[in-house]
Structure 1
Amino acid sequence: MSTCRLPLVGLLAVLVALCGAQMLEKRVYSPIKEDLPYIACESCQKAVKSVHRKINELRKESKAKLSEDSILEIVEKVCNPLIEHGDWIRRFDVSLSKGKVKLVDMGAPSKCRRECRTIARACDDVVADADTDLAEMLYRDKMSLAQMTNRVCLEPCKRKLGQVDRRDVDEYFEEMDEKEAERERLMEKMAAGMPGLPEMYGPDDLAGFKDAKETKTKETKRRKASTWWQWLKDGFNDATSWVISLFYTSSNSNDEL
C-alpha cells in the first residue's frame, strides 16, 4: 500500500471513531414519571418567576419595546435546561422532605440527568399549554408576578396530593463546572442555528413523553428530532464518502505515476 493511502485510511478510522464517541457520549435521560404530579406546581411557579425576571431584565437593557413574538420565543424556551432561558432548572434538586417532594435550590448548575429532565417535563407540561397566554400577560405588563403565577399555575397547584413515603429514584446532585455548562449552552445555540436540530429532546425522551395530552408543540419537537437524526446520518455518510473519494483519488494518482 502506498504511503499516501495510510493517512487517508487513518483519517477515515478517526472519523468513524469520533462519530461513534459523540453518539455514545450524548446519553439521553428520561424523566421520573412518579415525581411529575408532585413537582408540577412548584416547577410551574419557578418557570413563571424565571421568565418574568428575564423579561424585566431585557426591558431594562433594551431601549425599544419588546415585541410579543420575542417574548413568546423566550417563554417557549423556559423549560429547556440546555439553554440560557431554561438553565434555572439545573440549579434544583428533587428531594423528599416530611412526606413532600420538593425542589431545592442548590445554588449551582448540575449535570442534566433524570431529575433535571423531570423538572423540565413538569414545566413543559404546563407552560406548553399556556405559553401564548403567558407571553401576552408579559407583553401587556399589567399583572403582578403573583397574579400571573396564579393564572398560569392554577391547575397543577390546586391538586390535592397525599404524602410520599419514599421515592424509587433519588439521584445525587452532581454539580457541573460553570465552564462545562457554558460549553453546553454554546453547543445548543449552534444546534439551534442549523435546520432540523431539536431544541431539547432526543428520540428516547420523545418516546417516553407520549401521552394523550401531547400538544402541537410536542408534535413539532418529535418531527424536529426525527429530522435531526436523519441530518446526522446524512452528514456522516457524506463525510465518509468524501474521505473515500480522497483515498481513491490518491490511489489513481499513484497508479498513473
Structure 2
Amino acid sequence: MLTIGRLASYAGVTIRAVRHYHQIGLLQEPERDASGYRTYDAAAVVRLIRIRTLAEAGVPLARVRELLDADPETFAAATADIDRRLRGQIRTLQEHRRRIARLGGGDSLAVPEEVVDYLERLRAVGAPSVLIEGERDAWILMAARWPEAIPVMMAEKVAQLADPKTVRLYHLFGRIAESGADEELLRETADLMSDLFEQASASGELDRQDEVMPDAAFIGLVDAFADAAHPAIGRLRELIAERGWTGWTRVAKREA
C-alpha cells in the first residue's frame, strides 16, 4: 500500500494535485487505516496516471471523469469534440499573436487593418510622424463609431493619395503641425482644401457623407478633437468658411 507522497511520485503529479482530484471527485479518497493514514493501491496509481495523461492532453478537468468511465465509442466521440474545441482555441491564440505582432509598430492599436494600411501609405508619400499620429487617433474614434463603414472610407482615402494635390495637402499639414503656421501658409492650405472639396463635390463623394457618417453629434465630437489637436485648426476652419465651405470631418458647401 502506498502513502499519498509515494502515489504522487509514481503517477508523476504533486501531492497538491492528488488532493485536488479528491476534492473534485476524480480520485476516490481512501479511508484511514488503523494507524490513521490514508493508503492507496495500484488501481489508484493507474487511475491517477490516466487523469494526468488526459489533463496533459488538454482535456478540461470537468470532462476527465466522463472519459475515464467511457466506453470506446463514447471516448472517441468525446475526444473528437475536445479536439475541435482545442483547434478553435489555437486559432484564437494565433489571431491574438498576429494582433500582438501588429501592435509592435503602434499604429494598429484599436484601428482596423484598412486604417493601418492607409497610415503606411501616408508614410510612403512623406507625411510626417506627427501628422500620422493625429490621423491614427482620429480614425480610432471613427472606427469605434462606424466600423462597418471603414473599408469604404479607407478605399476612398487611399484613392485620394493618387492625386498630387492630396499629397501636397498632407505635406502642408505636416509643416503646420511640426513648425507652426504663418498666415500665408494657412491661406495656401485653405486654398488647396477648397480645390479638393470642389473635386469631391463634383465626383459625388460629398453627397455620400450623410449616408456613411449619419451621426451629427459624433461628427461634432471628432471636429472638437481636431480643434484641440492644434491651434491652427481653428484659423483654417475660418479660412475654409471664407471660401464657401463648412465643417471639418464632414464638409458641405455653405448656402449662399
TM category (shorter chain) comes to under 0.3
Higher relative contact order (CA 8 A, sep 6+): 1
Of structures 1 and 2, the larger Rg is shown by 2
> Please, what TM-score do these two structures have when normalized by structure 2?
0.28
